[in-house]
């Protein structure tokens, strides 16, 4: 999620490519089949750093085509992943270090890193499975003065 900006329920559909992109199923609702999309790693070096070509999806859950996706199984998998953090032996540590953390924060942080790096936001929106308007309304409202100043500093270098 932190590397590709995908939703929690999209993680089991990620299929990494050798060029820093991944194929992914856009999972937005339980009422329709997901659509295929391409997302890109940012930063790209995280693929090797975290050995993402060799990640094992917990529970053996994988859906690589829209037809293989199961809404209920996806919902259960996401719930189990979120609850693991609350039940694990690391709960006290994680609550102290990252209070209120939710897995979805990783997706939002991807968006913020892409904005801070001045990456074409139309491409970022497409990578995340958003329209540009949705991307701007959702992600840009989180911009703070220091983020804007850092982005301007990169533009003027």
Domain boundaries in the chain? 8-155
Tell me, what's the pLDDT at 88?
64
Q: Which of the pair, 24 or 98, is modelled with greater confidence? A: 24
Neighbours of 148 (CB within 10 A): 12
Tell me, what's the pLDDT at 37?
94
Q: How confident is the model at residue 40 (pLDDT cuts 50, 70, 90)?
A: very high
Neighbours of 13 (CB within 10 A): 27
Tell me, what's the pLDDT at 57?
80
Nearest residue to 47 (alpha-carbon basis) of 55, 36, 56: 55
Burial 119-143 (b: 16+ CB within 10 A, else e): eebeebbbbbbbeeeebeeebeeee
When pLDDT is averaged across residues 138-142 and rounded to a whole number, the result is 74
Q: Is the pLDDT of residue 38 over 90?
A: yes
Q: Is the pLDDT of residue 85 over 70?
A: no
When pLDDT is averaged across residues 37-54 and rounded to a whole number, the result is 94
**Helices marked H in the chain — which ranges?**
46-49, 71-87, 91-97, 104-116, 121-128, 132-139, 145-155
Q: How confident is the model at residue 42 (pLDDT cuts 50, 70, 90)?
A: very high
Q: Is the pLDDT of residue 140 over 80?
A: no
Residues in a beta bridge with 40 = 21
pTM listed for this prediction = 0.80
When pLDDT is averaged across residues 10-35 and rounded to a whole number, the result is 89
């Amino acid at each position: 999620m932190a590397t590709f900006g995908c939703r929690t329920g999209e993680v089991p559909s990620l299929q990494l490519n050798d060029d820093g992109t991944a194929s992914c199923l856009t999972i937005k609702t339980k009422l329709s089949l997901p659509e295929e999309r391409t997302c890109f790693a940012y930063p790209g070096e995280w693929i090797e750093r975290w050995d993402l070509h060799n990640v094992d999806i917990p529970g053996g859950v994988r859906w690589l085509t829209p037809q293989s996706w199961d809404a209920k199984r996806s919902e259960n998998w996401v719930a189990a992943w979120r609850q693991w953090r609350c039940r694990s032996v690391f709960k006290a540590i994680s609550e102290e270090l990252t209070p209120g953390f939710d897995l979805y924060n990783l997706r939002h942080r991807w968006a913020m890193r892409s904005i801070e790096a001045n990456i074409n936001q139309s491409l970022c929106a497409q990578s995340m499975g958003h329209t540009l308007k949705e991307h701007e309304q959702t992600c840009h409202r989180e911009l703070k003065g220091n983020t804007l100043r850092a982005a301007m500093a990169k533009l003027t270098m």
